Structure formats: structure tokens, C-alpha cells
Amino acid sequence: MLETKTNTGRGFVSIVGAGPGPVDLMTLRALDRLQRAEVVVHDRLITSEVLALIPENAQRLYVGKALGDHAVPQEGIHALLVQHAQLGLRVVRLKGGDPYVFGRGGEEVQALQAAGIAFEVVPGVTAASGCSAAAGIPLTHRDLAGSCVFLPGHLADDNATHDWQALARPGQTRVFYMGVQRLAQIAHQLMAHGLSADTPAAIVRDGTRATQTVIATGLARLVARAPAYGAQPGLLIVGETVQLSPDYHAN
């Protein structure tokens, strides 16, 4: 069981990954923890159907974040988790995707450990695997990609933070979380370091949901065709496996 306990007599925090959106992509453990929660601290991208599973008598605390708009700063989220656990309550920190994949779950665990709060981490389907599968894009393939790498979209803001030459090498699938806003910068860096402009690439928005949209074509063409950045969550996938998507069009 993925659990760490401290014998303090205090409450308990479950940091729960809700997956990419649909209820039926949640794990059974996530569902169990949510339905037994007394306090739920949840993010912006949790779907209404998942929120509907929260017990009526549970307290809901919204701490969602959007670009430049954080309802509660990260340190405030830490404080909420600790404060409610210290009241002896069962607290669920409900996060989209997986808590440990660009979900800041590691920071929240550190805060709980520092306060001596008992906790567990419940993994969830992360956007990279959920959205790529829903779009028909394998993350690895014996003939096309022997590895994959997960990256934050803001990587493009600082050229010194990563080895772009390594990222431009063939035989890998690159997945940029929240990469739509910085698509042009990411594409420029990859192509400047040797990646072909015709490399298959895709934008998957609202992945795994009924509102999912996929644009898949060559990288340079994708930059020209990309929609304007908006509130919808978007994933950028770059690599040869994108050509296997039924939505892929080279031209």
C-alpha cells in the first residue's frame, strides 16, 4: 500500500490523482478515498462528474490554478492540508492526473512530513498516457520510439534549463504538459537543434473527454495550424509515433 503513517493521533491526508477527467479513469482506491472524505481540497481541472462523488457532508475547498491566476498560493494549500488534518479529519487533496507528475504532490508531501501528518499518495492516470492513448498515439513503439520524456511547457522560457540537442535526437516521444501556449518556442528550439520540421506532432486538448480535439501533422505545420491558447488543458506530443494517430495528416 502506498502509504506513510506517523503515529501522532492526528487526521489523515490522501493525496489523490483523479486522472485526466472521466470518472471511469479513476482508480478504485481513488474512488474509495474520495467517498470517505470529510474535507476535499481540489484543483481547477477536476470534472463535475468527479466532484459529484464527494459526500454531501464533506467540506469542499477550491484551490484551482490557471495561468497567472492562483486561487490559493501553494504554501496556502500546504497550510490547509495541515490545519484540517490537525483537527483529526480525513482530508483528500484531489488533483488532476497523477500527483507526482507535474502535480506538485512532492511539495505537499514534504509539507505534511514536516508537520508530522500521516498521509498516502494515490496514483492516477497522468495526462501523457491518458491523452496519448485517447488520441491513438503510442508513447513508445518498437520501430519508432524506444523512449519517451515528459516535460513542462515552460521549459521553452529558459534555454539554459535543458539539453535541447538531446531532445532533438530521433527515436523518442516528447510530451510537453501545458505546451500549447509555448508551441512556437518549443518547435523553434527543437528545429534549431536539428529536429526535422516534418516530424509528426500533435496537440491534444481535453484529452479523454467527450470534448477532446486532436490536431496532428508535421511540427512546422502544427505551429501554423495551432489554435489560440485558452482555458482548455492541452498536451503537445512530438515524435514519430504521432503518425499512428487516426487524426494525423502530413499535409
State the chain's mean pLDDT as an integer: 92
The answer to whether 73 and 101 are in contact (CB under 8 A) is no
| pLDDT given at position 4 | 46
Distances (CA, A) of 204 to 2, 12, 79, 125: 31, 36, 34, 16
Residues 178-224 have pLDDT tens digits of: 888 899 999 999 999 999 999 999 999 999 999 999 999 999 999 99
Question: For the chain, where do the domains classified as CATH 3.40.1010.10 start and end?
Answer: 3-122
Residues 220-241 have pLDDT tens digits of: 999 999 887 767 778 999 999 9
In terms of CATH architecture, what is 127-244?
2-Layer Sandwich (3.30)
169-186 mean pLDDT:
94
Catalytic residue chosen out of the listed positions 43, 95, 98, 206: 43
Q: Confidence class of residue 155 from pLDDT cuts 50, 70 and 90?
A: confident
Classify 3-122 by CATH class: alpha beta
DSSP assignment of 147-173, as one string? Answer: EEEEEEGGGGG-GGGS-HHHHTSSSEE
| pLDDT given at position 3 | 44
46-57 mean pLDDT:
96
If you compute the radius of gyration of the chain from its CA atoms, what whole number of angstroms results? 19
Question: For the chain, where do the domains classified as CATH 3.30.950.10 start and end?
Answer: 127-244
Catalytic residue chosen out of the listed positions 5, 24, 32, 65: 65
Neighbour tally for 117: CB within 10 Å? 23
95 part of the active site: no
5 part of the active site: no
